[in-house]
Amino acid sequence: MGHMDILISGAGIAGPALAFWLRRHGFNPTVVERAPAIRHGGYAIDVRGAAVEVAERMGVLADLQAARTENRGMTVVDSARRPLVEVRMDELMGDDGDIELMRGTLSRILYERTDDTEYLLGDSITGIEQHADAVRVTFEHHSPREFDLVVGADGMHSTVRQLAFGPEAGFRRYLGYHISIFSVENFLGLDRWTEVYNTPGRLAGLYRGARTDAGAKAILGFKSPELRFDPRDPQTQFALLDKAFTGGWEVPRLLEEARRAPDFYFDSISQIHLDDWARGRVVLLGDAGYCPSPLSGQGSSLALVGAYVLAGELLAADGDHRTAFRRYEAEMRNFVTQNQNVATEGAKTLIPKTATGLWLRNQVFRLMSHFPQLNGMSKGIQNAANAINLRDYAPAP
């Protein structure tokens, strides 16, 4: 295998997880990240199934468990905030060892476990030039460098994918919804609880982010034809939210709070589908290669498992990237497909399109404690989350 320098673009979940395993297996990873610092905060994510096993093999499972949000359940309310139905979280999502925690917390834990890795923060890749034995990479700020391999772990709007595979439009599949998430005060006094207000094709909600978090997270989601907007222009995004939501519950306040939030996020709910995840010495990981969308709840788990498999296959192939990339895809493809497929059930549960659909969803919630088999979303997610047998990759000598 020798000495292999591997550049990873993205320091969210997939990037640091891959850096951890590459370093353990004897490779030399470098991570480049556009943000000037590791992002904290963010929204709640889940680590499920095979990803829990990966976390245990990394030695971070106890850290993840200690940071769990302990969200106890959810109340669906009407426009006057009268409760319509309550459902416990173990009824809604099952209780199979899953861990819910804040995305920024998971990112920080992984970053701290890779303190022996070089991070180029506040920079981004501007060019990728592949040669027979190396990849020449140019950066926005740092001088050009050569690497043996480049990994795009830079999210759904991946720069690496754009440079090596082509325009995003050829790979992004819009699922019919847009979503906004941002921090607000916990003005409803929620205690490890979520409150949700629906109208047909609309979702507004508030949940307390973590046990130690004095604030809360707001979420606004809506069904619509795909909208065109400048991702760097929040004023346009605020206007789209104003147009999508008319009022009821705490919606007017949330629309105003969005304008003051330091971490306002708005995007389409989409998936990424590619026939191949590698081009020469460039390979994609996590959302960059196979984003399942927030409706699946499986993006972070796919990132953790994908990082483990990619690094392991590079080790097993003794650094032969052609063999490793082929085996990485063979191991991951069915797992990715099953996890992307659960997004459809997630949409039906979170944002029903019709008044009838909302009524039926609420009836299922009411019966769930007596008839857990009615919860098709939980069963589908658990099956998908465990749809891979993790190989035991031999440690480096």
pLDDT digits (tens, 9 = 90+) for 267-312: 999 999 999 999 999 999 999 999 999 999 899 999 999 999 999 9
Q: Higher pLDDT residue, 148 or 377?
A: 148
344, pLDDT greater than 80: yes
What span, in angstroms and rounded, lies between the C-alpha atoms of 331 and 324? 10
Interval 190-227: pLDDT, tens:
998 999 999 999 999 999 866 667 789 999 999 999 99
Could you give the domains of the chain? 5-68+101-171+271-348+372-386 (3.50.50.60)
CA–CA distance from 90 to each of 39, 51, 72 (Å)? 29, 19, 8
State both tokens at 186: 């916990």
108, pLDDT greater than 60: yes
70, amino acid identity: E
Pairing of β 149-152 and β 282-284: parallel
Q: Let me know if 297 is exposed, middle or buried by CB neighbors in 10 A (0-12, 13-18, 19+).
A: buried
pLDDT at 211: 63
Confidence of residue 167 (pLDDT cuts 50, 70, 90): very high
State both tokens at 128: 């990728």
Sheet harboring 125-130: ordered strands across?
125-130, 135-139, 145-147
Query: Terminal CA-to-CA distance of the chain, rounded, Å?
Result: 11
Rounded to an integer, the average pLDDT of 381-389 is 93
